[in-house]
Amino acid sequence: MDPLLNETQVAESLNVSPATLRSWRCRGIGPNFVKMGAGKKSPVRYSVADIETFIVQCRQVPPVRAALEN
Tell me how far apart the alpha carbons of residues 16 and 19 are, in angstroms, rounded to a whole number. 8
Query: How confident is residue 70, by pLDDT bands cut at 50, 70 and 90?
Result: low
Taking each helix axis as running N to C, give the angle between helix 7-14 and helix 48-58, from 0 to 180 degrees, rounded to the nearest 10: 30
pLDDT of residue 61: 78
Candidates 40, 46, 52, 54; CA nearest to 9 is 46
**What are the two backbone dihedrals, phi and then psi, of residue 5, each rounded to the nearest 5 degrees?**
-105, 150
Tell me how far apart the alpha carbons of residues 40 and 14 are, in angstroms, rounded to a whole number. 24
Burial class (CB in 10 A: 0-12, 13-18, 19+), 22: middle
pLDDT of residue 62: 78
Fold of 4-69: Arc Repressor Mutant, subunit A (1.10.10)
For 21-62, write each residue's pLDDT tens digit: 999 999 999 999 999 998 888 999 999 999 999 999 998 877
pTM of the model: 0.80
